[in-house]
């Protein structure tokens, strides 16, 4: 077994994670459904890589994500931090009296379950009734309609648990308590600087992670999803320091994610300096504590080329996180593919690779660049015919911000995953047909990478019920791109679109230079140069001159790794 432990840190990271695990749960359900699409009954995708088998206190077998989620106290909404599978115990105070003074209790009103969570509870109760009545199902008197659920979610998601259909282990959910501040106030590096170390939080978090790691047979790596736009970034950095000390040889693949709200234009120069310094410091520290870092999060997803066939509301994290989660689902598929022998049938999957092999492939080549760009085509276009093959490469658009376009890079290295590909007539292509199509596309391309690793799978991305209505009216039921729009609706959701073909690509390329150069330039301009405006701010964040110069050198090395002749790298030296 080659297990992966996933860690989600921060609000937007957990929004992404909620969608990610919904995809996995949907795949498991479709695989177990005797009447389901056979394309999801793939034995070559091993879900045990990211899931664990356990047992509840009642002796019931459980199958839950190998996950640690970290967020604010209260961020779970109506869901208990103990999860729903395990006994929650009593909330009544202990009868053991150790204090003789006055005692007052302050309790917040519990959050009410929305229609979607009510429907999940209703389904579980119906299953229990069915089992209790010798298999005879009883119709619920107040059946909740799927259309009402979709409308409820599209109009009002407040917490990431509002649309989560997954059962979590009690060790998976950690709420950071005692901060006593609004989420909007937790918006810069300094404010989260000591959170991990205070009140034994670090020990509690590390204990939860240890629970999942120690039951692994042979862990292949950690998948960190970190909301790096505010105070959770230093918490994640301190946590990663502990992880690197305790699990020295286990690679960390880190997605540094942020929602569109973190890219809002600021009204004052002071606010701009704070944000630019936060971005530089956050990226420098996080990147020094992992084997590969992938920045994810566009200033406006709705206006990007990624959304050609999507209708996104930038201000809605429920919408944006769904796109990023779909891309992360795709990039994670090769990590759980079963390695195939030379004579194995290529009908289901191809291109298995583990986390370490993936990192070495992209970051361990001659360039030694550990900052990857994430591209996605959602849905991916038809792969039949010369024009269609070229369309896939054109449709792959970056989810990484501040990336240069049309860069000719002879040393670029790529890893692409295509799954659920559709050919002419709407039929699903075999893995061999996908390999031939991608090979043909690169043969005809004007620019090619030095090396491209291809992974492919026949199963598409399943669209579960709580997925937002973000598909445009050119997207068909199985993700096929239509020649004319469907009349009557500009947005389509899970009731209209059941699955989609996906393509995602991770690449090491000179196109990342603007991202790196901006952070290096801002660190020098606002934090290191004599008389710069951010000196006192950085000191209040706990950074002295030596630490800042070390960060500057870290960023300079990254720039030089991508472009040894960069002017900004030479200036910083």
% of the chain residues with pLDDT over 70: 88
Tell me: do 281 and 379 sit in the same domain. no
Tell me: do 497 and 396 sit in the same domain. yes
Tell me: do 274 and 402 sit in the same domain. no
499 beta partners:
462
Question: Whole-number mean pLDDT of the chain?
Answer: 89
Summarised one tens digit per residue, pLDDT across range 315-368 is 999 999 999 999 999 999 999 998 876 555 567 899 999 999 999 999 987 678
The CATH number of the domain holding residue 267 is: 3.40.50.1440
Of 275, 297, 331, the one marking the end of a domain is 331
> Cα 82 vs. chain centroid, distance in angstroms?
23
Quote the domain boundaries for residue 493. Answer: 340-508
201 vs 94, higher pLDDT: 201
pLDDT in the model for residue 94: 43
% of the chain residues with pLDDT over 90: 68
526 contacts 273 by C-beta, under 8 angstroms: yes
pLDDT in the model for residue 260: 81
Tell me: do 289 and 417 sit in the same domain. no
Give the confidence band of 573 by pLDDT, cuts at 50, 70, 90. Answer: low
Coil vs helix vs strand at 352: coil
Strands 61-65 and 51-55: antiparallel
Tell me: do 401 and 296 sit in the same domain. no
Site of tokens 């979709």 = 150
Residue 57, in any domain of the structure? yes
Tell me: do 425 and 400 sit in the same domain. yes
How many domains is the chain partitioned into structurally?
3
Of 286, 311, 331, the one marking the end of a domain is 331
- As a whole number, mean pLDDT of residues 431-454 equals 90
Tell me: do 310 and 377 sit in the same domain. no
Q: What is the DSSP secondary-structure string of 58-109?
A: TS-EEEEE-EEEEEETTTTTTS-TT-SSS-----SPPS-----S------PP
217 contacts 1 by C-beta, under 8 angstroms: yes
pLDDT in the model for residue 341: 65
Tokens of 283: 């990226």
pLDDT in the model for residue 91: 45
In angstroms, the first-to-last Cα distance of the chain is 46
Tell me: do 363 and 233 sit in the same domain. no
Tell me: do 326 and 358 sit in the same domain. no
434 vs 385, higher pLDDT: 434
pLDDT in the model for residue 156: 87
Tell me: do 483 and 531 sit in the same domain. no
Is pTM beyond 0.85? Reply is yes
Tell me: do 296 and 371 sit in the same domain. no
Summarised one tens digit per residue, pLDDT across range 495-538 is 999 999 999 999 999 999 999 999 999 999 999 998 899 999 99
159 contacts 75 by C-beta, under 8 angstroms: yes
Residue 404, in any domain of the structure? yes
Summarised one tens digit per residue, pLDDT across range 227-248 is 999 999 999 999 999 999 999 9
- For residue 379, is the peptide bond before it cis, meaning its omega torsion is within 30 degrees of 0? yes
Give the confidence band of 142 by pLDDT, cuts at 50, 70, 90. Answer: low
Residue 125, in any domain of the structure? no
Give the confidence band of 434 by pLDDT, cuts at 50, 70, 90. Answer: very high
**Segment holding 126, helix H or strand E:** helix 115-132
Give the confidence band of 171 by pLDDT, cuts at 50, 70, 90. Answer: very high
Rounded Cα–Cα distance for residues 184 and 387 (Å): 47
Rounded Cα–Cα distance for residues 524 and 548 (Å): 9
**Segment holding 174, helix H or strand E:** strand 173-176
Rounded Cα–Cα distance for residues 240 and 223 (Å): 11
């Amino acid at each position: 077994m080659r297990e992966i432990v996933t860690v989600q840190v921060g609000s937007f990271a957990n929004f992404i994670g909620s969608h990610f695990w919904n995809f996995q749960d949907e795949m498991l359900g479709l695989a177990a459904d005797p009447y389901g699409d056979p394309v999801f009954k793939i034995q070559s995708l091993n879900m045990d890589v990211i899931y664990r088998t356990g047992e509840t206190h009642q002796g019931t077998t459980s199958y839950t994500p190998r996950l640690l989620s970290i967020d604010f106290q209260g961020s779970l909404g109506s869901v208990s931090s103990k999860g729903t599978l395990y006994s929650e115990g009593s909330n009544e105070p202990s009868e053991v009296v150790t204090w003789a003074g006055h005692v007052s209790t302050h309790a917040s009103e519990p959050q009410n379950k929305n229609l979607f969570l009510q429907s999940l509870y209703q389904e579980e109760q119906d299953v229990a009734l069915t089992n209790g009545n010798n298999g005879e199902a009883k119709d619920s008197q107040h059946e909740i309609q799927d259309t009402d659920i979709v409308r409820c979610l599209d109009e009002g998601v407040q917490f990431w648990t509002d649309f989560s259909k997954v059962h979590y282990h009690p060790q998976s959910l950690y709420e950071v308590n005692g901060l006593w501040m609004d989420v909007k106030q937790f918006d810069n590096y300094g404010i989260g600087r000591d959170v991990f170390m205070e009140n034994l939080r670090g020990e509690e978090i590390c204990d939860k992670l240890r629970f999942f790691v120690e039951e692994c047979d042979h862990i292949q790596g950690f998948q960190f999803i970190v909301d790096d736009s505010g105070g959770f970034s230093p918490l994640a950095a301190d946590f990663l320091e502990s992880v690197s000390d305790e699990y020295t040889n286990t690679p960390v693949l880190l997605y540094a994610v942020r929602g569109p709200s973190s890219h809002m234009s600021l009204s004052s120069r002071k606010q701009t300096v704070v944000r630019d310094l936060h971005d530089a410091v956050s990226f420098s520290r996080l990147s020094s504590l992992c084997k590969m870092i992938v920045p994810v999060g566009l200033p406006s997803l709705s206006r990007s080329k990624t959304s050609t066939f999507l209708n996104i509301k930038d201000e809605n994290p429920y919408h944006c996180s769904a796109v990023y989660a779909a891309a992360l689902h795709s990039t994670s598929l090769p990590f759980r593919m079963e390695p195939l022998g030379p004579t194995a049938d290529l009908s289901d999957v191809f291109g298995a690779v583990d986390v370490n092999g993936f990192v070495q492939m992209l970051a361990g080549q001659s360039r030694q660049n550990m900052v990857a760009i994430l591209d996605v085509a959602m849905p991916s276009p038809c792969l039949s015919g010369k024009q269609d093959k070229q369309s896939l490469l054109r449709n792959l658009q970056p989810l990484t911000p501040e990336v240069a376009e049309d860069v000719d890079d002879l040393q670029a290295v790529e890893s692409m995953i295509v799954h659920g590909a559709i050919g002419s007539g709407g039929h699903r292509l075999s893995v061999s047909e996908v390999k031939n199509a991608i090979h043909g596309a690169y043969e005809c391309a004007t620019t090619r990478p030095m090396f491209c690793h291809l992974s492919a799978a026949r199963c598409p991305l399943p669209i579960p019920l709580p997925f937002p209505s973000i598909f445009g009216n050119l997207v068909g039921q199985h993700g096929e791109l239509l020649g004319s729009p469907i009349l009557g609706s500009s947005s389509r959701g899970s009731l209209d679109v059941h699955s989609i073909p996906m393509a995602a690509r991770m690449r090491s390329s000179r196109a990342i230079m603007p991202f790196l150069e901006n952070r290096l330039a801002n660190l020098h301009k606002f934090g290191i140069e004599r008389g710069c405006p951010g000196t006192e701010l950085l000191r209040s964040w706990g950074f002295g001159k030596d630490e800042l110069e070390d960060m500057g050198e870290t960023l300079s090395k990254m720039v030089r790794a991508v472009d040894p002749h960069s002017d900004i790298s030479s200036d910083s030296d």
